[in-house]
Structure 1
């Protein structure tokens, strides 16, 4: 690997303990000792690309996906494993026959069978799409190691620990819309880029926070929903539409059919977060998803919000928020023209209007 400090090419014996044998400086990540094969230079390169060389900021979940994206397309059963098993079986077979060692013939037969099993597993996609390092492990292992060495997260990465959903001041004006976003990394990213303040939108974590804000919205002020393309995300939009009847609920997230149709969208599988039988039954009852979609979800596949290009996501949401703002401003102007924004005036008096002389 290349030392991130002196840029010398280091052999394994020249970087014991993550210390460069030439400049004697410590680095954070060695590709030989972490499951994502990360190095400091790779993390910096990907971070620069995601932030467009510092133009925007990103959050840890977005960095995790970008660093893991290529690995999602690889099976855990590499073809080399099958090749070595087959070679070992042939070698033991010759040794057993010509060396007069019959017990070796059993091992010689077992190894080709194992090789065949590995090839079948790879062909059928066993292990495909499963992250070699989960988002939680990326935080506790890779980013923790980075912070120990450099004292902070990679340049351009904002933290999403704690409560990244901005708390609206008590005296803040009523929002033009509510944006529901369960993902803490996306919430931290949007807050860092100032989208809620720029457009007067309340950014919240889930349906629990929506109920208290809806009464303050304009009549046509919508509830926007950002979600992963997975079973919980699909059900979240439907649940809000059921709860907020008469209120526009806009699916601003990653639509399942859209994500599956995008050639560059790389989904992944989380065996610990497979949808329950009840969730699949509810989705099937909606009649909006194809059998192929339901099977895809049942296998644990999902496409996450953090997989969207950050700059593109920000541009799309900015455009959507601007359109909503124009609609709400028009609605308020219409209300003002019919006296909705005026105080009751005394008979014969025209002096008690808000903003009047």
Structure 2
């Protein structure tokens, strides 16, 4: 790791307690404890995502920049635990042989004991072996007499196990195939381990980063000229932080019912079935208005591949299929991707691209050009 203060290369033993052993200055992030994240990497990421300071990004957008880009892997299905083992019974001939051998060993031990006291060292092990074989034969004989009942109990347990297995299979068939995510920062982990620690060491957030709660909505200069429908509060705060509503005299709302009448509409949404349906809902709610769909498409995420954030949501197949039927414009690849339960959040797109797409969509909506905007393929934050 490189010290953010003196630029010295530090070994693990030289940065104990998050303090540089060379310049004795503290740093906020320890790569071994913070999933490979350190102060210089965070600053470089902020500078690149903020386009050299020209774009202000939010804390949540910064968190998505460090999300694991590996696509979720398949979780193997498991059978119900504790499958009953079938009962095993010794043959009557084997039981008789064991009983006879045990009796012979016990009789031999008694005979040797009567010959000489010195032979007791051989008598005791032989007697113990005889007793063990007789006890085993008696136990197996008792199991043999109860064999029909034991087999019946095993058949019932096996039948119950198979019924439970079938129920689990049917239940799994109702849901999308379960997938697992790679390790990443949750919102709470990132706030506690990165944001709060950074503020404690450096006194404030990195330059060019703002918390969503600190963003204030500016008053418009004159009557609104544009409506932006965006259910993601992170992106809404991002647009306010970068002066988008003031430049375009735009009103930002979260649901189609909040859209003002007789204003052109820009729709920003995730790459998800609900997001793709949002533009249709906006057109149904305001049929007399121009609606430009500027949301992220599944085509963009699939084209980006491992460079895009791909998330998984466990959901019922039937309602998901019904949603996809209402999206006839999807390609087979997009339909299959959504059908697995996959989606990608708008907030995970590079901030400068979100702003550029929103501005292009606003220009098209104000000039009455209707259509869907093509998103550029996202880059991978380093």
Q: Distance in 2 between matches of 1:76 and 1:41?
A: 31
Shift of 1:29: 0.6
Does 2:226 align with 1:181?
no
Q: Paired residues, what number? A: 266
SS at match of 1:161: helix
Aligned counterpart, 2:239: 190
- Give TM-score, length-normalised by structure 1: 0.65
What residue number does 2:62 align with? 63
Cα displacement string for residues 148-188 of structure 1 (whole angstroms, at most 9, x for unaligned residues): 211221111121127x573656xx63322210122222222
Q: Deviations over 1:29-78 (max 9, x none)?
A: 1110023x10001000111111122122111222222223xx3127889x
Mapped to 1, the partners of 2:52 and 2:315 lie a distance apart of 38
Q: Quote the Cα distance in structure 2 between the aligned partners of 1:76 and 1:9.
A: 36
Q: 1:159 aligns with which of 190, 206, 211?
A: 211
Question: Offset of 1:290 from its aligned partner?
Answer: 4.5
- Does the alignment pair 1:281 with 2:321? yes
Partners of 1:165 and 1:187 within 8 A in 2? no
The reply to whether residue 224 of structure 1 matches residue 224 of structure 2 is no
- Is this contact kept in 2: 1:199–1:325, CA < 8 A? no
For structure 2, the 5+ residue unaligned runs are 75-177, 370-382
Provide, for residues 265-285 of structure 1, a one-character-per-residue CA deviation record: whole Å limited to 9, x for no partner: 513224xx4444454133232
Unaligned runs of 5+ in 1: 78-125, 329-357
Please name the residue that 1:115 is paired with.
none
TM-score by length of 2: 0.61
Q: Aligned ranges for residues 122-271 of structure 1 at < 5 Å?
A: 130-161=182-213, 164=215, 166=217, 168=219, 173-210=222-259, 213-214=260-261, 217=262, 221-262=263-304, 265-270=307-312
1:219-250, CA deviations, whole angstroms, 9 ceiling, x for partnerless residues? xx322110110133123233333333343332
- Bigger radius of gyration among the two: 2
C-alpha distance 74-237 of structure 1, shift in aligned 2 (>3 A):
closer
Q: Indicate the RMSD between aligned Cα atoms, in angstroms.
A: 3.0
Distance 1:200 1:129 in 2: 40
Q: Could you say if the C-alpha distance between residues 294 and 276 of structure 1 is closer, same or farther in structure 2, counting changes exceeding 3 Å? A: farther
Among residues 355, 358, 362, which one is paired with 1:317 in the alignment? 358
1:297 CA displacement: 2.5
Q: Is the 8 A contact 2:265 2:365 kept in 1?
A: no
Question: 1:15 aligns to what SS in structure 2?
Answer: helix
2:338 aligns with 297
Mean CA deviation greater in 222-231 or 281-290 = 281-290
Q: Distance in 1 between matches of 2:246 and 2:367?
A: 16
Q: Are 1:6 and 2:6 counterparts?
A: yes
